[in-house]
Amino acid sequence: MRADLQLAPPKDTEPAYIAIFSFLFLFSLYLLGGHGSKINGPPSPSAIPVLGHLHLLGKPMHAALARLAARYGPLFSLRLGSRNAVVVTSAEHARECFTEHDVCFANRPRFPSLVLVTFDGTTLATSSYGPSWRNLRRVATVQLLSAHRVACMCPTICAEVRAMARRMYCAAAAAPGRAARVELKRRLFEVSLSSLMETVARTKTSRTEADADTDMSLEAQELKAALDEFIPLVDAGNVCDLLTVLSRFDVLGVRKKIAAAVKRRDAFLRRLVDGERRRSLVDGCEDDKKSMISVLLSLQKSEPETYTDTVIMAMCSSMFTGGTETTASTAEWAMSLLLNHPEVMKQAQAEMDATVGNSRLLGADDLPRLGYLQCIISETLRLYPVVPTLIPHESAVDCTLGGHHVPSGTILLVNVYAIHRDPAAWPDPVAFRPERFEDGGTAQGRLLTFGMGRRKCPGETLALRTLGLVLGTLIQCFDWETVDGANVDMAEGVGITLPRAVPLEAMCKPRQTMLDVLGKL
């Protein structure tokens, strides 16, 4: 008998060999992170079965992704449970995503938890790219958040900022040593919500004489409680979104928690829409003075199938979430940085005194002349971007990114937090140095707080205007110190946004030069 025939396995064992070799081949592909061919894909760590690379994503996720980028480079791929993802950690690759491949990455992944929070994914920030999104974007940019509309909102914002300053002055006047201990996030959230309530729904937060000096109205407490509950549960590293079995059966109870918080938020929004509908039937007003809900209700009359109540509530939700939590968090980070750098605070106060003076409060028209204040805001947004990995994008078709193949259906995570701290782009990147923005051009293409491309946040103008008025008033009217004299702990919390791990408390005392102005508020 020939030797080669003697070495061949018996015919009845061939199916077993084929099965084993097939399993090993498929398992190797699985470990490499692919669900098919991964020709010239971005570099990737070794994956493990089922989880993929989820075990590598600690909290906060942007910090974990930055550590992986240090090892695998500014463009690498991950398998997050059942989903493929590509992570971008350089300004160069981010620009490529949102210029050359802007249409490719214009879509959003449908994470189950985000679908619950965003009215089945119909909010402006999370809706799928297409005609419906383009229509919502047009309404937002032309009728709700245009430069003219934001200018019309400024008197309302200024009035609410003055009310905040008055409450803080009264609290300080009644405190020992005329210095009040305040939890800033609550007051900042309240002023942001109060401004939006009047603009969005022509109504105010309810305050009686008995609670006029408290830091939060009932409405602010209601909305903030809901946001505080579901925001930490929705981010791109949420295992309940990425592992099918956990998502389908809600093993960890995450969907139940989110649904309860969303129910409370939606009841708040429904009251606003119904109230404005009743007011619109009784009184009319000029287009410039219409609330945002009134504008949307007018559109509903002509296109009821497009502008349903759900769509209107989704638009309101985007405004309140994007205009309260994020604005309040950024102002809180800015004050944390200023308390740790009192020399910057003094320089900002000196600019305020020279530009605005001590006989009146800061107004919206003053902001363009307060260059150093704008530098402080820019530097805060660099160090602590509102959404550190941006809202995730998803590729609609195959593309080539940084010379690597990226298949359709891939989640795109842009680690803005890491890009803003890249030593190759920012000298002394972790230092708080507002002066780096003084020439006005150093951030071109590198400050990505509000995103880039067609899905860039349309609320940038409103956010910067509100931040300028709130932060400027706090600097102009009060002297600030830490509670115990030690540096503020800058530990970060978790969630799709970037909150502080511990709310900031500080001692606020009215500035001697502003006592007359504050006393007349």
Residues that constitute the known binding site:
457
For 471, the enclosing helix (H) or strand (E) is: helix 460-477
Q: How far apart are CA 429 and CA 383, in angstroms?
A: 8
> How buried is residue 128: exposed, middle or buried, by Cβ count under 10 Å (0-12/13-18/19+)?
middle
**Residue 51, Ramachandran bin (φ over 0: left; ψ between -120 and 50: alpha; else beta):** alpha
Which residues carry a binding-site annotation for heme?
457
With left for phi above 0 and alpha for psi between -120 and 50, is residue 277 left, alpha or beta? alpha
Residue 92 in tokens = 């160069």
CA distances to 61, 193, 395, 422 from 411, in Å: 15, 32, 7, 23
- Assess contact for 60 and 492: CB atoms under 8 A: yes
For 421, the token pair is 């701290």
Instruction: Give whole-number Cα distances, 244 to 83, 241, 518, in Å.
Output: 10, 7, 57
| Pairwise CA distance, residues 292 & 315, whole Å | 9
Rounded-to-10 torsion of CA 19, 25, 26, 27: 100
* Contact call for residues 180 and 168 (beta carbons, < 8 A): yes
Q: Are 129 and 396 in contact (CB under 8 A)?
A: yes
Cβ 373 vs Cβ 472: under 8 Å: yes
